[in-house]
Amino acid sequence: MRTLLQQVQHSGEFAIEADDLVKDFGDKRAVDGVSLRVPTGTIYGILGPNGAGKTTTLRMLLGIIDPSLGTRTLLGHGRPLDAAAEVGYLPEERGLYPAMTCREAIAFMGALRGLPIKEGRRRATEMLGERGLADWTNKPIRTLSKGMAQTVQLLGTLVHHPRLIVLDEPFSGLDAINQEKLEALIRQQADNGATIIFSTHVIAHAERLCERIAIIAAGKVAFEGAVDEARSRLRPIVHLRTRSNDGSWRAALPPDARQTGSDWTFELPSSGPEPLLRALIDGGAGIETLSIERPGLHDAFVAIAGESAAREMNGEQPE
């Protein structure tokens, strides 16, 4: 039975809607029943290890490839390619014509989305100048470093002012400084009203940027929803240091509390912090430090997708 959310007709509330997408390549099922909703105006992340089906899912959403089964709607269009002029797409496989100058490459990418070439050149010059890159304007692509070329391709993705921006592993190959610049650019585009969806195997980027996420493992959606909802699946962690090592207060600690000398680590009891504090004080624990740490998205990912998927995210296993 379809949920109420699935029954909602597209009215601009969602930039992307997908139901039960399946993609088979021969006898291999790369995507197995992916359903998701990307609310208009949000930053949405698709998380998963390499080979999980993220890129295949994005390509189906964009209409680059057709699903074997399932349906999708992009900016209100049942045929995603009809919305191509309103979409900016940065694929995982980067590619620019090496003989083109930066300005011409950006303008050319805009022209592919319907932007007049003259206007594309004007915007390209402006975009490079705004980022302190005016001296790149007439540089051929072949003279640029990998990171510089990726910046140019990203600007080409944005030059036609798309309503929807789709980025496949956009942080790959960038150093820490350029990753920060890209995060700032993504936030700027969202502040300007664009909807942004990006795939990544680096959880930290999604935690800093995203309002909603889908966790994909082995071609299936293990979780879809708000970042806070994913994190709330785990209880907060208490870090406690006491002067006393024993007393009636220890009955307030969970049986699986971990002790290292006078330090204790355990999940916050479901009754909340107040009864715990009362028991510690009344029992003479002698609280030296007490902090409550909310679980991060990485911990939530492990709980949802499993240790194996988390190790793959960190590159500890082959794809």
What is d(CA 33, CA 71) in angstroms, rounded to the nearest whole number?
A: 10
End-to-end CA distance of the chain: 35
Whether residue 93 is predicted with pLDDT greater than 50 in this model: the reply is: yes
Whether residue 202 is predicted with pLDDT greater than 90 in this model: the reply is: no
Class of domain 4-231: alpha beta
Distance of CA 172 to the CA centre of its chain: 13
Amino acid at site 282: D
Tell me the CA distances in angstroms from 55 to 22, 91, 179, 186, 317, one per residue in order: 13, 8, 20, 19, 19
Confidence of residue 91 (pLDDT cuts 50, 70, 90): very high
* Rounded average pLDDT over 67-84: 95
Domain ranges of the chain: 4-231, 237-293
Whether residue 7 is predicted with pLDDT greater than 80 in this model: the reply is: no
In terms of Cβ atoms closer than 10 Å to its own Cβ (0-12, 13-18, 19+), residue 176 is exposed
Amino acid at site 30: A
In the sheet that holds 263-267, the strands lie side by side as 258-260, 263-267, 237-242, 287-293
Which position has the higher pLDDT, 295 or 77? 77
Claim: this prediction has a pTM higher than 0.85: no
What is d(CA 200, CA 167) in angstroms, rounded to the nearest whole number?
A: 9
Q: What is the pLDDT of residues 216-260, one digit of tens each?
A: 988 999 999 999 888 888 888 999 999 998 899 999 999 989 999
Q: What is the pLDDT of residues 101-140, one digit of tens each?
A: 999 999 999 999 999 999 999 999 999 999 899 999 999 9
